[in-house]
Structure 1
Amino acid sequence: MIKISIKDAQIGMVAAEPIKTPLGQILALPGTPLTRQLINKMKLYKVGSISIQNPSYAVAPQAGENTAKRDKVKPVPKTRAHEMVTNIQRVQASEEFLGFQLKYLTCINQIKDTFGKICAGEKSFDEAALLTAVIDLSSSCGTTIETFDMLYNMRTIADPLYSHCLNVGLITRMIGRWLHMEKTDVNTLTIAGVLHDIGKCKIPDDVLNKPDKLTDEEFALIKKHPQFGFDLIRDLQIDSRIKRTALMHHERCDGSGYPSQLDSSLIDDFAMITAIADVYDAMTAARRYRAPLCPFAVISSFESEGFTKYNTKFLLLFLKKLATTYQSNRVMLNDSRFCNIVMLNPHELSRPIVRFDDGSILDLSTNREFFIKSVM
């Protein structure tokens, strides 16, 4: 293990200790390979130095350094970290990702502008223009897995509220299409997803983005954002399902949600769909206390407690489509072995059957000490 300055960080190095912001927010856990995305994020959060596992990586020579000594540095052999980085780099280096980035940032700016106008008391916004931008972004991804890959690689966006709202809009749009909804309903569901968290604009930034544990009073304030959102859009000339989604997306079918502890018979379908997209995007994002969860970890979480809290019809469809997206995909298990998914277990989607490079097979549903840690 060696400690290096952030300016010497290189793609492929592996974190030896948790990477934290100056305020203590965890950006990555030990064992995480550095990617261009993570390095940029560390710079964004003004991380000064990090500890890495593989000091054999060469760094840029300092002025007056003996270049002969530098030339003796041996090439770093390919490792599991290299395999992970290669796949991430492949997405980030593609022309499609560059185009997606530009459209994504355009959407972020439109969402920010829309939220600002609504919060300022304007009684209308250009719904058609916002929808067109999101549809254009969604259409730039040819497949479902491309969409999830692109969203994963956009985690460096410095506006977590707006990027989260955009991600939820894109995911709810996919769910609407999987449900074979009418085009107008899919479009309405998309806008409902984009606007679902507008109430958080009324939460002070020092509470909304607090890196430490929230006090009871702060958490109680956060839980008011659905009502704040509904109040902001109550008088807009938009579909009532959009308004109900803002109010109900934290309600749960078993009555354990907020702000009104509604049961399933009273929760709008659009709100129940948005709730699933909202939780998925939140769980696959980094938090101050953990690194982003991989899709199969999210599927496992939904399987363990989701069927009492979320509409079963919508949740089953989402989990099946999500798991199927990664059929034949390369993954890494919790013991750092790489393998390919060869068959899904319909009764436990988070634990498929995998094949290793030597041809051996492992059924994760019957070998429970192992699980999928990362999707490559």
Structure 2
Amino acid sequence: MSINATQSEKMIHIPITQVLPGMVTARDIYSRNDQLILVKGTRLLPNMIAKLMFYAIESIYVYKTEEDINSDSSYYNRIKQSEDFKNFKQTYDDVMVEIKDSVNLLLHYSNQVPEQQLLHKVEKIIRTSKNRFHLFEMIYCIHEHDDLTFIHSINVALICYVFGEWLQIPPQEVKILTICGLLHDIGKLVIPKEVLNKPGPLTKEEYEIVKDHPEQGYLLLLNHKMDDRIRLAALEHHERYDGNGYPLGKYGNEITPFSMIVAIADVYDAMTSRRVYRGAICPFDVIKLFEEEGKQQYDVKYLIPLIQKIAEIYINHTVKLSNNQKGEIILLNKDCLSRPVIKVDNEFIDLSKHKDLRIETVI
């Protein structure tokens, strides 16, 4: 939806992390390879914000607006009120403090990454979940937290652990992949906090500082004893299969496999992350982005099995469609995972054949 906006004095330049549903784009938005993503005057919906994150858009120009859209759902509210989630969150918060201490020790006093120690902390969180699907639901609800850098890193580690199992990677290798996920954003810890946590718009120079975190992370880990793939994940997690990533513009198989898996986990967590002020993005909007546009940016031999498994999480779940009908997901369409078959009362609706409908939220 595009609207007219004439009050240019209200135009502001803000980081993507501060973009809210209801804001209106003040300029056309293009990807790194000059593909038009959204036109000026678009009123942003949660799935559009997810798309901007998918394309690693760092900031946009918007008009100020008072409107907001609450994309939360009763399903995830129920999870947050459950004893399972309360226990999960308690363990998660305790482990986050421990991981912070370990990483600070690594940064300032040690030349060896305590891989086993870090892994045991991540596994402590995993053991509080009933199964891997349950873990994803817990992660989906955990994002409301002040320390976004550490919470994102722990989430990516958890997601990498599960992805590794789903991809049938040998257990010892899954452990390395998990540490790759945990330390992928370590370069952000050397960025001045006043820049990283700046509440208002960043200057062009400040954005360049933030975008330098992959190289900073690699350099920070360079003199530490570790599997080299951990360093490379810090360096390469913003690289893309089509060569349109950064910092080195690597292409295809130039990107190491673990870095590619971390990249998928990184953007998945960023898109599904909840913010108190924004709510969460519908998982099927995320799956749709990966299906339609991710095949150019990510290695499909990792991407396709992962989004298949993510979609399977929601079989037998109740959803609300864009026409306000409610129904149950009963079957996935292998070639169109974001458009499953929904049972609404006694009717079966195949969303792959009803392009005018979409899943709006899980309820």
Instruction: Give the TM-score, by structure 1 length.
Output: 0.75
Q: Which aligned pairs between 1:68-87 and structure 2 lie closer than 5 A?
A: 84-85=73-74, 87=75
Distance in 2 between residues matched to 1:197 and 1:25, nearest whole Å: 19
Pair 1:186 & 2:186 matched = no
- SS of 2:144's partner is coil
Cα 1:108/1:293, change in 2 over 3 Å: same
- Which protein has the larger Cα radius of gyration, Structure 1 or Structure 2? 1
RMSD between superposed Cα atoms in Å = 2.8
Q: What is the CA-CA distance between 1:291 and the residue it aligns to?
A: 4.0
Cα 1:321/1:101, change in 2 over 3 Å: same
Which ranges of structure 2 fall in alignment gaps of 5 or more residues? 1-16, 24-44, 47-65
Cα 1:239/1:341, change in 2 over 3 Å: same
Q: What is the CA-CA distance between 1:100 and the residue it aligns to?
A: 1.0
Q: What is the CA-CA distance between 1:323 and the residue it aligns to?
A: 0.6
On the 8 A contact 1:342/1:355 being kept in 2, the answer is yes
Aligned to 1:374: 361
Which ranges of structure 1 fall in alignment gaps of 5 or more residues? 1-23, 33-49, 54-80
Q: 1:265 is matched with which residue: 242, 249, 253?
A: 253
Distance in 1 between residues matched to 2:85 and 2:268, nearest whole Å: 22
Distance in 2 between residues matched to 1:361 and 1:99, nearest whole Å: 38
* Higher relative contact order (CA closer than 8 Å, sequence separation 6+): 2
On the 8 A contact 2:232/2:259 being kept in 1, the answer is yes
Aligned to 1:306: 294
Aligned to 2:212: 224
Instruction: Give the TM-score, by structure 2 length.
Output: 0.77
Aligned to 2:237: 249
Distance in 2 between residues matched to 1:280 and 1:94, nearest whole Å: 24
- SS of 1:262's partner is coil
Q: What amino acid is aligned across from residue 202 of structure 1 in structure 2?
A: V
- SS of 1:156's partner is coil
Aligned to 2:223: 235
Q: Percent identity?
A: 38
User: 87-96 or 154-163: which moved more?
Assistant: 87-96
Q: What is the CA-CA distance between 1:96 and the residue it aligns to?
A: 2.1
Distance in 2 between residues matched to 1:293 and 1:89, nearest whole Å: 14
On the 8 A contact 1:145/1:325 being kept in 2, the answer is yes
- SS of 1:332's partner is strand
On the 8 A contact 1:330/1:338 being kept in 2, the answer is yes
- Count of aligned residue pairs for this structure pair: 306
Q: What is the CA-CA distance between 1:215 and the residue it aligns to?
A: 3.5
Q: What amino acid is aligned across from residue 118 of structure 1 in structure 2?
A: L
Cα 1:298/1:141, change in 2 over 3 Å: same
Cα 1:146/1:282, change in 2 over 3 Å: same
On the 8 A contact 2:217/2:234 being kept in 1, the answer is yes
Distance in 2 between residues matched to 1:290 and 1:149, nearest whole Å: 18
User: 341-350 or 362-371: which moved more?
Assistant: 362-371
Q: What is the CA-CA distance between 1:90 and the residue it aligns to?
A: 3.3
Q: 1:363 is matched with which residue: 324, 327, 350?
A: 350
Cα 1:182/1:288, change in 2 over 3 Å: same
Distance in 2 between residues matched to 1:351 and 1:285, nearest whole Å: 22
Q: What is the CA-CA distance between 1:222 and the residue it aligns to?
A: 1.7
